[in-house]
């Protein structure tokens, strides 16, 4: 199999502005920090005996540095002016990195920027330094999702009509569960959207034995959104915060997708056949 040697970076600012370094105007020359975040290990010496005891460990914020150079000296003034105005620390950024045939993105703050003032007739360069504080993991470009209660269309061609069984037009997921085979490196925290087609009492979403349950009545058209990321735990009903109506035994962290097989399901005290439950997530990776 031929090795994919294409390397590119796409910087997307929080206001929608973009800058691409893909070998057209700018060429990526250095990448530092894309392989892994820094790991922090906490320990204390044993009071007696040899060695110590691990007291905690975590993945620290990620530092990422990307360097680039121009390919056309005649365009130095315009390209330099462009990057000087683009890398503005007042904005947040998404950094998309393509390397060895895969593209992943990172949400980060601009920590520093350098564009050395060298000779005007040599290729201009820049270095952009980013820090991913809230989430140090690279994420899949595509977000994945599935409606647990989805009805799958089954019309076929050529058309077939069985004299006794009739025509199969769709299949409903009466089991009210779906299996995700998650191949990310670390846990992914989904956003779960629950929509009611008719009155529903106390809807509940589960991943294995862990669950989040809302103690409330839903009317037709009501929408509940559950955000499970530890730093942004939130549950809203039609845009209003209803965290105070959550069953105290609920476990938001337990709804995270873990590497491997995850089985999600839903229920309600009344009206669960009127629910649509859509689970969306981005795969999380340690490096690119």
Burial 222-255 (b: 16+ CB within 10 A, else e): bebbbebbeeeeebebeeeebeeebeeebbbeeb
Q: What is the CATH number of domain 144-285?
A: 2.60.120.860
pLDDT for res 42 = 92
Q: Where are the domains of the chain?
A: 8-43+54-136, 144-285
Highest mean pLDDT among 42-56, 120-134, 173-187: 120-134
Would you tell me how many other CB atoms lie within 10 Å of the CB of residue 147?
A: 16
3-class SS of residue 76: helix
CA distance 262 to 254: 11
What are the tens digits of pLDDT across the range 273-285?
899 899 999 999 9
Most confident of 52-61, 143-152, 247-256: 247-256
Which CATH fold would you assign to the domain 8-43+54-136?
Answer: Elongation Factor Tu (Ef-tu); domain 3 (2.40.30)
> How distant, in Å, are the alpha carbons of 58, 210, 236, 252, 254 from that of 248?
27, 12, 16, 11, 14
Enumerate residues 6+ apart whose C-beta is below 8 A from 172.
149, 151, 152
Distance CA(114)–CA(217), nearest Å, equals 55
Confidence label for 150 from pLDDT (cuts 50, 70 and 90): low
Model confidence at 169, in pLDDT bands (50, 70, 90)? very low
Instruction: Quote the DSSP letter at residue 39.
Output: E
The mean of the pLDDT values for the chain is 89
* pLDDT for position 172: 42
Which range among 103-112, 172-181, 232-241 shows the weakest confidence by mean pLDDT?
172-181
Nearest to 67, CA basis, from 115, 26, 27, 127: 127
Q: Is the pLDDT of residue 156 over 90?
A: no
pTM of structure = 0.83
């Amino acid at each position: 199999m031929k090795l994919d040697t294409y390397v590119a970076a796409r910087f997307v600012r929080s206001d929608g502005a973009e800058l691409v370094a893909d070998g057209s105007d700018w060429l990526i020359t250095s990448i530092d920090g894309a392989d892994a975040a820094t790991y922090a290990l906490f320990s204390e010496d044993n009071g007696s005996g040899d060695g110590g005891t691990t007291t905690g460990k975590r993945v620290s914020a990620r530092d990422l540095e990307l360097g680039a150079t121009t390919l056309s000296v005649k365009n130095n003034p315009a390209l330099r002016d462009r990057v000087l105005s683009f890398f503005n620390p007042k904005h947040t950024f998404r950094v998309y990195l393509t390397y060895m045939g895969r593209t992943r993105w990172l949400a980060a703050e601009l920590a520093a920027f350098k564009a050395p003032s060298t000779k005007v007739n040599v290729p201009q360069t820049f270095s952009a330094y980013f820090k991913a504080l809230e989430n140090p993991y690279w994420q899949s470009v595509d977000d994945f999702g599935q409606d647990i209660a989805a009805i799958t269309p089954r019309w076929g061609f050529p058309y077939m009509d069985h004299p006794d069984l009739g025509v199969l037009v769709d299949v409903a997921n009466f089991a009210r569960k779906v299996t995700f085979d998650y191949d990310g490196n670390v846990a992914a925290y989904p956003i779960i959207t629950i929509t009611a087609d008719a009155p529903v009492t106390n809807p509940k979403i589960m991943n294995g034995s862990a669950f989040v349950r809302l103690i409330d009545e839903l009317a037709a058209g009501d929408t509940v959104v559950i955000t499970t990321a530890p730093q942004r735990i939130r549950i809203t009903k039609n845009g209003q915060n209803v965290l105070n109506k959550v069953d105290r035994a609920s476990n938001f962290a337990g709804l995270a997708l873990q590497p491997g097989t995850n089985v999600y399901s839903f229920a309600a005290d009344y009206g669960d056949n009127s629910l649509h439950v859509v689970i969306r997530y981005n795969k999380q990776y340690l490096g690119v």
